[in-house]
Structure 1
Amino acid sequence: MNQRLWLSVGAFIALLVGALSVYLYFKAIPYPAEIDHGPSPEAQANPYLAAEHFLRKQGLTVSHANSLDILPSLEPHQRSLLLLGDRSNMSPRQVNQVLNWTRAGGRLLFVAEALWDEKTGQSNDLLLDRVQVHQSLSKDLKEPPPDPGDDPYPKLTKLYLENEEAPAYVTFDTAFHLDDPKNLAQAWANSGKATHMMQLSHGQGSITVVTDADLWKTPAIDQYDNAWLLWYLTADTDVTLLFNTDHDSLLTLLWRYFPQALVALIALIVFGFWHVGVRNGPLLEPAPRARRQLQEHLRASANFMLRHNGQHSLLQALQQDILRRVRHRHPGFEQLGVAEQWLVIARLTGQPTRAISQAMSPRPKQRLPSAEFSRQVAHLQTLRNAL
């Protein structure tokens, strides 16, 4: 009975699943969908990738570099060098190299990176100071008089060309302003209040200074005339874009995405060094505390006293010990004269009076030769032992 019940339940479930599948098959309507996965890794690594593709479509040869080390290999004639990356570490020597390259016929375009300081008479941008162009904040400028015309794009930068009725509109950052105190600029592009691009002649070449290069990054390059301006500034030349595209190191990526594995690897290395550094031989047993003999201690004590108190103190100590023993054996010894005391010592020790006189006489404090000192000590010890 139970087996039939389970078979019935299984058949019912299978029938229900089949009916649901048929229903979903006829009701489901396929449709195309476009999923945006964002920019490719190449586009994320290179913000000017779209600009490079655009220039190549215009027939220009475009290359990319990460540093000025490639400058000696660039022929200046018919070549445009676009410094679009950070130049805070640019040295005076590199500034001279770039300007000499431009003077020989190259086209140089760079972004102004620092504001002019009136107090110090310079900015932190060496290249900008060398071309004598100053950068300031647009908000510090006086408000211009009202424009009687009807400007359709008052917040855009306008570039006027000869034989053109309408200007080109580009999206420079209007927060900054370029100033030409020496009147060296031959062309410029302005917004309603400030100047954002200047062109100057430099020897056989030319220099273009801009307030920013974000208008040539993705996706701003396809807005207004941004792409056209980039082509206009580099037309009929080979183009080299110089900016840093250094990526995170392998160690940084491992720490970001696999911190547990990196910690385990470090721990494994530490334990490996610890295992290699463990001693394989037997440990030395600690030396017994009572390993020295009494004679060693006495000799060490005597050497210590000899170094710190000198020979005189040791000889005097032996003489005092002899006198103490004689007083113990001959009452009233200290009341006798010196000659009588020496006679008593000679009688008690069996030594001649002359030897007693030499041993017990006060010694000079000057240092004795080692042999003489040893003889005196041996003589005094003989007398003491005899008592």
Structure 2
Amino acid sequence: MSRRLWFGGGALIALLLGALSLYLYFKAMPYQEEIDHGPSPEAQANPYLAAEHFLRKQGLTVSHANSLDILPILDPRQHSLLLLGDRANMSPRQIDQVLNWTRAGGRLLFVAQSVWDEKTGQSNDLLLDRVQLHQLLSKDLKAPPPDVLDDPYPKLTKLYLEDETAPAYASFDTAFHLEDPKNLAQAWANSAKATHMMQLNHGLGSITVVTDADLWKNPAIEQYDNAWLLWYLTADTSVTLLFNTDHDSLPTLLLRNFPQALVALIALIGLGIWRVGVRHGPLLEPAPKARRQLQEHLRASADFILRRSGQHSLLQALQQDILRRVRHRHPGYEQLGVAEQWLVLARLTGQPTRAISQAMSPRPKQRLSSAEFSRQVAHLQTLRNTL
């Protein structure tokens, strides 16, 4: 191929690339696109994260806790405590601590968590019972008067303030209703059919009870006047939120943070069990029943008597057998004195009198050594066999 053709091909390729670039330049239009990656890990772990940020923007100091252990270090003056989590495990002692803290000047806000039971005269919410308020189901209430039905926002809770022409609107759950049988509440907020927030004084402090706190969670706090209501209830105070009292167990924490160490520990325990369980020597198989002999039965019987009755019973049995045989060979033996009986035994067995006295004398019931016991049995058997 000549050099001219090479130059011509290169020029054509360059021309095509230039034309394509111009086309793309005039046709391509830049645009922006937002990709939603969902809530951040921090927001997923803290459902009231947006509420905390909002209160901080209003100049309030906000913190959150996981238990009431922080109560002794909270100054009740100019401080709000928001109990927004599950209180099923709250003890009477903790309830007394919270109420005493409120009586000293703290602001307490908590969520009613149980419906009032008319039969038992209580609910499963000890704190709610202590402030003498009842929570009922809205569906069990009487029908509202006709003028209430004209409410343009029947499912929104309205809070009326002095010198304000319009109420504040909040999106409490309308399925529940708060009742004040002792007329203790100083303020309240209602929807068209039910009451969802009540406030009452308690010593130098105040208590606010609400039917739910979902309106202050991340998805709903920006709706209506939800955020403003939270600020209104905690204004001019430091705020502590307590909403997550469910802690991971120790096994869960270990599995999450030290999985390799747990695997090593389990392997070590398994090896230890295997090492302890190793047999020392071959397995001894039971002898077949067909080879059982009289000698084996006698030995087993002697072992059984030795375990149950001890050495004394076996020695005494041999002595009684010797006495029975000598009485058979020497009538009137039992009428003789002990010395004469030993002389008779010495004459019949050919054993010295001293050996016979050692063998036939009553033995103390203390346990003999194996060697001494064996010698005593052998001596008695020798006397018996010679009779």
Shift of 1:78: 1.6
* Aligned match of 2:212: 212
Shift of 1:203: 1.2
Q: Quick one: distance in 2 between partners of 1:43 and 1:85?
A: 16
Deviation by residue 1:269-308 (Cα, 9 ceiling, x = unmatched)? 55455667887xxx9666999xxxx9xx99x959959858
Q: Quick one: distance in 1 between partners of 2:45 and 2:59?
A: 24
Residue type of the alignment partner of 1:314: L
Using the size of structure 2 for normalisation, the TM-score is 0.68
Q: Show the 5 A alignment for 1:116-195.
A: 116-147=116-147, 150-195=150-195
Q: 1:314 aligns with which of 315, 318, 321?
A: 318
Range with greater deviation from structure 2 (21-30 or 174-183): 21-30
* Aligned match of 2:228: 228
Q: Show the 5 A alignment for 1:237-252.
A: 237-244=237-244, 252=252
How large is the Cα RMSD of the aligned pairs? 4.5
Shift of 1:243: 1.8
Q: Quick one: distance in 2 between partners of 1:75 and 1:212?
A: 26
Tell me, what secondary structure is at the counterpart of 2:147? coil
Report the CA distance shift for 1:315/1:173 in structure 2 as closer, same or farther (over 3 A): same
State whether residues 102 and 108 of structure 1, in contact with CA within 8 Å, keep that contact through their aligned partners in structure 2. Answer: yes
Tell me, what secondary structure is at the counterpart of 1:44? helix
State whether residues 359 and 379 of structure 1, in contact with CA within 8 Å, keep that contact through their aligned partners in structure 2. Answer: no
Matched, 1:61 2:65: no
Q: Show the 5 A alignment for 1:20-39.
A: 22=20, 29-39=29-39
Report the CA distance shift for 1:22/1:356 in structure 2 as closer, same or farther (over 3 A): farther
* Aligned match of 1:334: none
State whether residues 318 and 380 of structure 2, in contact with CA within 8 Å, keep that contact through their aligned partners in structure 1. Answer: no
Shift of 1:317: 3.7
Shift of 1:312: 5.8
Deviation by residue 1:180-233 (Cα, 9 ceiling, x = unmatched)? 000011111111111110010111111110000000001101111111111111
* Aligned match of 1:101: 101
Deviation by residue 1:19-73 (Cα, 9 ceiling, x = unmatched)? 8x95995665442211011111111111111111111111222121222122222
Residue type of the alignment partner of 2:242: L
State whether residues 315 and 377 of structure 2, in contact with CA within 8 Å, keep that contact through their aligned partners in structure 1. Answer: no
How many matched pairs?
325
Q: Quick one: distance in 1 between partners of 2:167 and 2:323?
A: 121
Report the CA distance shift for 1:223/1:383 in structure 2 as closer, same or farther (over 3 A): closer
Q: Which runs of 5+ in 2 are unaligned?
A: 1-8, 286-294, 333-339, 349-359, 365-374
Tell me, what secondary structure is at the counterpart of 2:121? coil
Tell me, what secondary structure is at the counterpart of 1:52? helix
Tell me, what secondary structure is at the counterpart of 1:220? coil
Q: Quick one: distance in 1 between partners of 2:160 and 2:132?
A: 23
Tell me, what secondary structure is at the counterpart of 1:35? coil
Tell me, what secondary structure is at the counterpart of 1:232? helix
Q: Quick one: distance in 2 between partners of 1:379 and 1:206?
A: 99
Q: Quick one: distance in 2 between partners of 1:47 and 1:37?
A: 17
Q: Which runs of 5+ in 1 are unaligned?
A: 1-10, 327-336, 340-351, 361-366
Shift of 1:369: 1.8
Tell me, what secondary structure is at the counterpart of 2:122? coil
Residue type of the alignment partner of 1:236: D
State whether residues 148 and 192 of structure 2, in contact with CA within 8 Å, keep that contact through their aligned partners in structure 1. Answer: no
Q: Quick one: distance in 1 between partners of 2:377 and 2:264?
A: 70
Deviation by residue 1:110-143 (Cα, 9 ceiling, x = unmatched)? 1111111222221121111111101111111111
* Aligned match of 1:364: none
* Aligned match of 2:352: none
Residue type of the alignment partner of 2:51: A
Shift of 1:104: 1.5
Report the CA distance shift for 1:310/1:150 in structure 2 as closer, same or farther (over 3 A): closer
Residue type of the alignment partner of 1:34: E
Deviation by residue 1:81-119 (Cα, 9 ceiling, x = unmatched)? 111111111111211111111112111111111111222
State whether residues 67 and 245 of structure 2, in contact with CA within 8 Å, keep that contact through their aligned partners in structure 1. Answer: no
Q: Quick one: distance in 2 between partners of 1:135 and 1:195?
A: 10
Tell me, what secondary structure is at the counterpart of 2:71? helix
State whether residues 359 and 376 of structure 1, in contact with CA within 8 Å, keep that contact through their aligned partners in structure 2. Answer: no
* Aligned match of 1:42: 42
Deviation by residue 1:320-369 (Cα, 9 ceiling, x = unmatched)? 77899x9xxxxxxxxxx959xxxxxxxxxxxx999548888xxxxxx942
